[in-house]
């Protein structure tokens, strides 16, 4: 069995301890463990917990973009510094994949895999893109892993996060991510899913992005079909 883990939380947050314990338990059970540090998670690289996991045999990857952004030196002795192609590989090759972010962890379920289709990744965005960088990071991650066609990526937007689809998204926090990655996602011809509580923004129709309002049944279908769920 292969377990894939994603950590997007800094060392001040409780997710590091949860990832460490789960990885150690899985190693003791004879599983192969992959850990990808991304966004604020890259600052954990020098933590003793991560060093112990590395020594115990965890395959450790660090997002090269996130490390460069936070001025963390690339040290090949500590980890593999890689792009989102490596994360896509981990998602599609592991039997289980769990994501830990400051806003929650994905459920511990076996991946839904079929030889006839790609595993599905659901990225749920809840934060306000006017105040937080996390929605922009979620868009970057989704576009990055989806472009390799190893996982089918869907986005679910709650509350004010629907503003990422507005024509002026480039003026939001880390707006360059929207300007660069939304055109990539548009080419997939797959709609963004808007939850019932998503803000209704008049400018949505002007943005040129495909979107779909969802009811409870569609939300259930999205979550149940996802092999990987990431919450931002």
Whether residues 202 and 125 fall in one domain: yes
- Predicted TM-score (pTM) of the model is 0.94
Give the pLDDT band (50/70/90) at residue 109: low
Q: Quick one: which of 204, 124, 212 has its CA closest to 168? A: 204
Q: Tell whether 200 is covered by a domain.
A: yes
Q: Quick one: which of 114, 61, 90 has its CA closest to 228? A: 90
Q: Tell whether 108 is covered by a domain.
A: no
Average pLDDT over residues 99-122: 78
Domain end among 76, 102, 128: 102
Domain end among 72, 102, 132: 102
Please tell me the predicted confidence (pLDDT) of residue 206: 66
Note the pLDDT tens digit of each residue in 113-131: 555 578 899 999 999 999 9
Sheet containing strand 120-125, edge to edge, reads: 211-213, 192-194, 152-157, 120-125, 228-231
Exposed / middle / buried, residue 95 (Cβ in 10 Å: 0-12, 13-18, 19+): middle
Spatial distance between the Cα atoms of 131 and 156, rounded to a whole number of angstroms: 19
Whether residues 93 and 133 fall in one domain: no
Q: Quick one: which of 24, 83, 78, 84 has its CA closest to 47? A: 78
Residue 28 has pLDDT above 90, yes or no: yes
**Number of residues in the chain:** 232
Average pLDDT value for the chain = 93
Q: Tell whether 149 is covered by a domain.
A: yes
Whether residues 80 and 172 fall in one domain: no
Whether residues 19 and 61 fall in one domain: yes
Note the pLDDT tens digit of each residue in 204-221: 766 678 999 999 999 999
Whether residues 161 and 63 fall in one domain: no
CATH number of the domain at 75, please.
Answer: 3.40.1260.10
**Is 41:8 a contact under the CB 8 Å cutoff?**
yes
Per the structure, how many domains does the chain have?
2
Whether residues 139 and 187 fall in one domain: yes
Range of the domain at 57: 2-102
Average pLDDT over residues 217-230: 92
Please tell me the predicted confidence (pLDDT) of residue 97: 95
Whether residues 146 and 69 fall in one domain: no
Please tell me the predicted confidence (pLDDT) of residue 117: 76
Domain end among 50, 71, 102: 102
Whether residues 35 and 92 fall in one domain: yes
pLDDT cut 90: percent of the chain above it:
88
Whether residues 94 and 166 fall in one domain: no
Note the pLDDT tens digit of each residue in 32-85: 999 999 999 999 999 999 999 999 999 999 999 999 999 999 999 999 999 999
Spatial distance between the Cα atoms of 226 and 215, rounded to a whole number of angstroms: 17
Whether residues 142 and 214 fall in one domain: yes
Helix (H) or strand (E) holding 87: helix 84-93
Please tell me the predicted confidence (pLDDT) of residue 113: 53
């Amino acid at each position: 069995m292969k377990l894939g883990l994603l950590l997007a939380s800094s060392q001040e947050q409780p997710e590091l301890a949860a990832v460490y314990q789960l990885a150690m338990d899985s190693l003791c059970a004879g599983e192969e463990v992959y850990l990808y540090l991304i966004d604020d998670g890259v600052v954990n690289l020098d933590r003793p917990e991560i060093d112990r996991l590395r020594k115990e045999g965890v395959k450790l990857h660090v997002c090269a973009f996130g490390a460069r952004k936070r001025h963390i030196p690339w040290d090949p002795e500590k980890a593999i510094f890689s792009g989102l192609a490596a994360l896509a590989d981990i998602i599609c090759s592991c039997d289980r994949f769990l994501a830990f972010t400051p806003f929650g962890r994905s459920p511990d379920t076996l991946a839904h895999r079929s030889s006839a289709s790609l595993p599905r990744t659901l990225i749920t965005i809840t934060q306000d893109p006017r105040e937080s960088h996390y929605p922009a990071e979620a868009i970057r991650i989704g576009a990055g892993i989806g472009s390799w066609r190893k996982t089918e990526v869907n986005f679910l937007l709650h509350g004010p996060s629907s503003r990422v689809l507005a024509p002026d998204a480039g003026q939001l926090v880390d707006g360059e991510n929207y300007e660069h990655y939304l055109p990539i996602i548009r080419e997939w011809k797959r709609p963004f899913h808007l939850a019932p509580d998503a803000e209704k923004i008049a400018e949505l129709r002007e943005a040129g992005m495909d979107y779909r309002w969802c009811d409870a049944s569609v939300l259930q279908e999205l979550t149940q079909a996802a092999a990987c769920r990431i919450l931002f």
